Amino acid sequence: MKNSSAAARKTTDHSAGFEYLVLTVRPGQSIADARREIVEHAEYGKWELRTTRIYMGGMRRYWMRRRVMRVASTLDTFPS
CATH of residue 57 = 3.30.200
Question: What's the rounded Cα separation, in Å, for the pair 28 and 9?
Answer: 20
CB 63 within 8 A of CB 51: yes
**The domain containing residue 34 runs over which residues?**
6-68
pLDDT digits over 7-45, tens only? 666 666 666 688 999 999 999 998 899 999 999 999 998
Other C-beta atoms closer than 10 Å to the C-beta of 37 total 18
Number of domains in the chain: 1
- Whether 1 is in a domain gets the answer no
pTM for the model stands at: 0.69
CB 19 within 8 A of CB 13: yes
- Whether 80 is in a domain gets the answer no
pLDDT digits over 51-73, tens only? 999 999 999 999 999 988 777 77
3-class DSSP state for residue 43? helix
Report DSSP state, residue 37: H
- Whether 74 is in a domain gets the answer no
- Whether 62 is in a domain gets the answer yes
